[in-house]
Structure 1
Amino acid sequence: MTAFPLPPETSRLPDPYREELPLVQALAAEMQALNWRAVVDQARPWVQQVRGIRRRSGRWNRCCANTRSPVPKAWR
């Protein structure tokens, strides 16, 4: 028995997690509002440029063609 009564234990900090559903719904609504045709048209030159760089790079092709080990032994 203690000499004085203790108050019940309470959490002094707020819950560190917030509700996910409202956030996910808001982000999904933003994604649906995008003009995806415009996004694809804007990204196409960049994607084609990156694919062209990969085709021209012999080292990249040798690395990707090696199915047993994705990283050449010389790079390990």
Structure 2
Amino acid sequence: MFTAIYIYKSNNAVTGDVYLKQCIQRRLIPFIKTNHWPDLAKSHYTPQVLRVLEANSIPFVPKEKNLPNVPQVRPIEDLW
């Protein structure tokens, strides 16, 4: 899956406001909402990350339901 490259044309440096609105809110959050699947990395389940995911209505698999080492539940593991 490929996405189009986004180029923001401006005569000035990209400000925090432009970055937030044009990159994060307009493109990154919609992409994450459709493609996000956390693995079991501790960083993906920190309270700060979970708060941001919840605040943006981004679905995620709770850590207790994201089971490791269960081939029937995680068929991608067969590829490794």
TM-score between the two structures when normalised by the length of structure 1: 0.32
Larger helix share, 1 or 2: 1
